[in-house]
Structure 1
Amino acid sequence: MKFNKYLAMLLGATLVLSACGDDSGEEDSAADTEEAADGEESSGDAASLDTNIVTIATGGSSGPYNIIATTLAEGYSSEFDVNSRTQTTGASAENLNLMAEEKVEMSFVMSDALTQAVNGEETFSEPIDNIQQVAALYPNFVQLISTDGAGIESVEDLAGKRVAVGDQNSGVEIATRAVLEAHGLSYDDIEVDYLGYAEASEAMRGGQLDAAFLTSGLPNASVMELQNSVDLKIVPIEQEAVDVLSEDADYFEALEIPADTYGNEEAVPTVAIMNALVVRSDMSENDVYNLTKYLFENLDTLSNAHQAAGDIDVETAQDSAVIDIHPGAQKYYDEQ
C-alpha cells in the first residue's frame, strides 16, 4: 500500500513538472516567434516608404540631372516597391515651382536658383517655403562654348553675338545672367536664344549660333557630341569675374574644366555652382531618411550612370547646403 502510495505521488510530481516544462517551452517559443515577427516588422519599416510615389524633377533629357535621377528612380522603385520616375523639365526654376505646386516630391536644382526661390528673389515672385535640402551634390560647371571661327575669346566678346542662354527661367539662365553682369554685360548687349543643351548644340552645328552657356556636371553629353562635328572652343571665365560673383553669393566657386574633357589641350578656368537635391518638407522623416540612405549607399551605381555623381560625398553633403536640411536627411548624417 505504502509503495503504491509513494509511486502515485512520484508519478503525480513527474506529470506536474512535465506540464510546467511544456508550458515554459510554449511561452518561450511564443515569445521567440513574437520577437522574430517584431524584428521582421522593424526590418520592413526600415526598407519601406510611407508614400507610394516619388517623382523626381530633373532637366533636359541629355543632361546629368536626368541621367543620374533616372538611375536613382529605378533604384527607389526596386528597393522600396514604389512608383518612382523622373520628369524631364527646363531644370532648376521649373523644378522649384513644381515643388511649390506639390506636383513632384524631389528635385535636382542649382544652389543659386534654390537660394533665390526660398528668398522670393529674381524670377520667384514669392518665397517657396515647402522645400528642404537632402544634400549638396556635385559642382555644376558653367561651360561657355563657341567655335574657333566665331571670334569669341572672352565673355566680353559675346557683345553683338547670338547666344543661347538656356531654357527661360532655368538654372542655366540664372547663372548666365549673373556671369554676364559680372562682365558688365546684359541681355541688351547680345542676341538671346532660349535653348536647352541639345537644341543649342544643334543650332551651333548648323551655324545658327555663335555661343552657348551650359551649366552641368562634366562632361555634358551634348557638348561631347558637338565636338565631333565642329571646331569646339571653350571660352574661359576668369578669376576676376568669379570674385565679383562671390561678393554677394558664396555658392560661386572658381574651378577648372580639366584638359581633355572636350578635347581641350589645357584646363580652362570657369565658375561652378553646387547642385542640390531637395524634397518637399511635408515628406515624412522615415521616407527622407530611407531615400537619403539609399542615395549614399549606391553612389557607385550612380557614378556608372554619369561620372559627375562621383563627386557626391557624404562627408561634404551638408557643408555646401544653402537651405535647411530635412530632418530625415539630418538623421542619416547624424548616424555617420
Structure 2
Amino acid sequence: MDMRTTRRLAIGILIGGSLAAATGFAQEIKFFRIGTGGTAGTYFPIGGLISNAISSAPGSRKCEEGGACGVPGLVATAVATNGSVANINAIQGGTLEAGLTQSDVAYWAYTGTGVYEGKPKVEGLRAIANLYPETIHLVARKGAGIKTVADLKGKRVSLDEPGSGTLIDARIVLGAYGLTEKDVKAEYLKPNASSDRLRDNALDAYFFVGGFPVGAVVELATSVGVELVPISGPEADKLLKEYGFFSKDTIPAETYKGVAETPTISVNALLVTNASQSDDLVYGVTKALWNDNSRKLLDSGHAKGKQIKKETALQGVGIPVHPGAERFYKEAGIKTQ
C-alpha cells in the first residue's frame, strides 16, 4: 500500500469517525415540550422555569460539582397554548410530552366526568408533580358596579378562551351564584386581550385562574386601577362542598396596587405527562425538578416559584402518578397521598 493510499484511508477513517460521533451526539439529544398557557398568565413563566431546570443538552452549561443540572441530553421548551384542556389534549395526541393543567381539569379528563362527560377518558394521563395553588381572579373595571358575582348579570364579561381551565371554572362559579353564560354578555378572550378591553372600557370584568401575582392584572392595576370581586359567602361554601378540588384562598392586600384583601377560591396547578413516556425519562425529569440548582431557579424566577416544593409535590394530584416520578418520590421518602 503506497503513501497516497494510506493517507486516503486515514482521512476516510477520520471522516467516518467524526460522522459517527456527530450522529451519536445527535441521538443523545431528546426534546421535551411542555405546554403552558397564554404569555400574560402564570403558566408560561413557570413553564419556562421548569424547562430551564430540567434541560441539560450536552455541553450547554456547567453545573456546580455534585449538583445535577437537568437530564443529560434533554432539551425542554415551554410552549404557549390555550391552557389546561388544550395541554391535556396535546399530551394525549403526542404533540406535547408534558404540560401544566388545573387539578380539576386533570381529574375530569382522567375519569371522563365533568366537562369530559360523554367523551373518551384520557386514561393515559399521569402526574409528575403538584406545583402551586391557582387562584380564581374575578377582575372588574373600576366604576362598573360589580361588588359580587351576582352583579355580573347583564355585564360584559370575558370567560377566557375555549380550551382553558379558566372557562370551565368561570362557568362553575357563575352557576353557584345562579347565573349562566346567557345571563352575561360573554366574550372569550385571553387575559392580555381582556385587560386591554377592560382598560378601554370595552369590558366590565373577566375571569382568570392563575397563581398571583398575574402579570396582566399587575399592569392593569398599576396603570388604570382595578377591583377584585370576592368569591365567598354561602354560594362559595356550597361550591366548595360540591367540588372537592376547590379550596378557600385569599389574595393578600396590595398584591395588586390599591386592591384590598380579597377572599376567593383556588385549584392546584399540576405538571402532567403521558403514561407512554418512559419511566427512566420521567424519573430523570422529576429528579432534575427537585435538585438544588432547580430550587434556586424557582425561588428567584417567579413569586409562585417559592411555593413549588418537593414536600407538597403529591398533594391533591387527583390522578395516578407516573411510575418514573413515583420511583423518585419513594426514594426521597415522600408518600403518595
TM-score, normalization: structure 1?
0.82
Q: Residue 143 of structure 2 aligns to a residue in which SS?
A: helix
Which aligned pairs between 1:150-165 and structure 2 lie closer than 5 A? 150-165=144-159
From 307, 310, 314, give the equivalent of 2:306: 310
Q: Report the Cα offset of residue 69 of structure 1.
A: 1.0
- Call closer, same or farther: CA 1:228–1:281 in 2, change over 3 Å: same
Is 1:96 aligned with 2:88?
yes
Report what 2:124 is aligned to.
130
Q: Which moved more, 1:299-308 or 1:247-256?
A: 299-308
Q: How many Å separate the matches in 1 of 2:259 and 2:143?
A: 18
Q: How many Å separate the matches in 2 of 1:147 and 1:289?
A: 46
Q: How many Å separate the matches in 2 of 1:331 and 1:147?
A: 48
Q: Report the Cα offset of residue 269 of structure 1.
A: 0.2
Q: Map Cα deviations across residues 292-326 of structure 1 (whole Å, 9 max, x no partner).
A: 11112213302322111211122222121110011
- Call closer, same or farther: CA 1:307–1:322 in 2, change over 3 Å: same
Q: Is the 8 A contact 2:131 2:308 kept in 1?
A: yes
Is 1:166 aligned with 2:166?
no
Q: Is the 8 A contact 1:136 1:318 kept in 2?
A: yes
Is 1:87 aligned with 2:79?
yes
Which aligned pairs between 1:272-311 and structure 2 lie closer than 5 A? 272-297=266-291, 298-311=294-307
Q: Is the 8 A contact 1:123 1:169 kept in 2?
A: no
Q: Is the 8 A contact 2:282 2:325 kept in 1?
A: yes
Q: How many Å separate the matches in 2 of 1:243 and 1:313?
A: 28
Report what 2:322 is aligned to.
326
Partner amino acid for 2:47?
A: A
Q: Is the 8 A contact 2:148 2:229 kept in 1?
A: yes
Q: Map Cα deviations across residues 174-215 of structure 1 (whole Å, 9 max, x no partner).
A: 110111111111101001110111111011011110001011
Is 1:263 aligned with 2:273?
no
Q: How many Å separate the matches in 1 of 2:259 and 2:114?
A: 38
Report what 2:39 is aligned to.
61
From 211, 214, 225, give the equivalent of 1:220: 214
Specify which structure has the higher proportion of helix.
1
Q: How many Å separate the matches in 2 of 1:50 and 1:156?
A: 56
Report what 2:8 is aligned to.
none
Q: Report the Cα offset of residue 265 of structure 1.
A: 5.2
Report what 2:179 is aligned to.
185
Report what 1:23 is aligned to.
none
Q: Is the 8 A contact 1:300 1:310 kept in 2?
A: no
Q: Report the Cα offset of residue 242 of structure 1.
A: 2.9
RMSD in angstroms over aligned alpha carbons? 1.6
Q: Is the 8 A contact 2:34 2:51 kept in 1?
A: yes
Is 1:52 aligned with 2:30?
yes
Q: Is the 8 A contact 2:29 2:75 kept in 1?
A: no
Q: Which of the two has higher C-alpha Rg? A: 1
Gaps spanning 5+ residues in structure 1: where? Answer: 1-48
Q: Report the Cα offset of residue 228 of structure 1.
A: 2.1
Report what 1:18 is aligned to.
none
Q: Which moved more, 1:175-184 or 1:304-313?
A: 304-313
Partner amino acid for 1:59?
A: G
Q: Residue 315 of structure 1 aligns to a residue in which SS?
A: helix
Q: Residue 247 of structure 1 aligns to a residue in which SS?
A: helix
Partner amino acid for 2:34?
A: I
Partner amino acid for 1:323?
A: I
Q: How many Å separate the matches in 2 of 1:279 and 1:243?
A: 32
Q: How many Å separate the matches in 1 of 2:193 and 2:295?
A: 30
Q: Residue 272 of structure 2 aligns to a residue in which SS?
A: strand
Q: Report the Cα offset of residue 51 of structure 1.
A: 7.5
Q: How many Å separate the matches in 2 of 1:85 and 1:319?
A: 26
Q: Map Cα deviations across residues 199-255 of structure 1 (whole Å, 9 max, x no partner).
A: 110110111100010110010000001112223101101142332222232110011
From 77, 86, 110, give the equivalent of 1:118: 110
Q: Map Cα deviations across residues 103-154 of structure 1 (whole Å, 9 max, x no partner).
A: 1111100011111111223443221112100111100000001122100000
Q: Residue 73 of structure 1 aligns to a residue in which SS?
A: helix
Q: Is the 8 A contact 1:165 1:213 kept in 2?
A: yes
Report what 2:204 is aligned to.
210
Q: How many Å separate the matches in 1 of 2:256 and 2:159?
A: 20
Report what 1:33 is aligned to.
none
TM-score, normalization: structure 2?
0.82
Report what 1:38 is aligned to.
none
Q: Residue 260 of structure 2 aligns to a residue in which SS?
A: coil
Q: Is the 8 A contact 1:92 1:108 kept in 2?
A: yes
Gaps spanning 5+ residues in structure 2: where? Answer: 1-26, 57-69, 333-337
> Number of residues paired by the alignment?
288
Q: How many Å separate the matches in 1 of 2:327 and 2:83?
A: 28
Q: Residue 86 of structure 1 aligns to a residue in which SS?
A: strand
Q: Percent identity?
A: 32
Q: How many Å separate the matches in 2 of 1:205 and 1:292?
A: 41
Partner amino acid for 2:74?
A: V
Q: How many Å separate the matches in 2 of 1:64 and 1:155?
A: 23
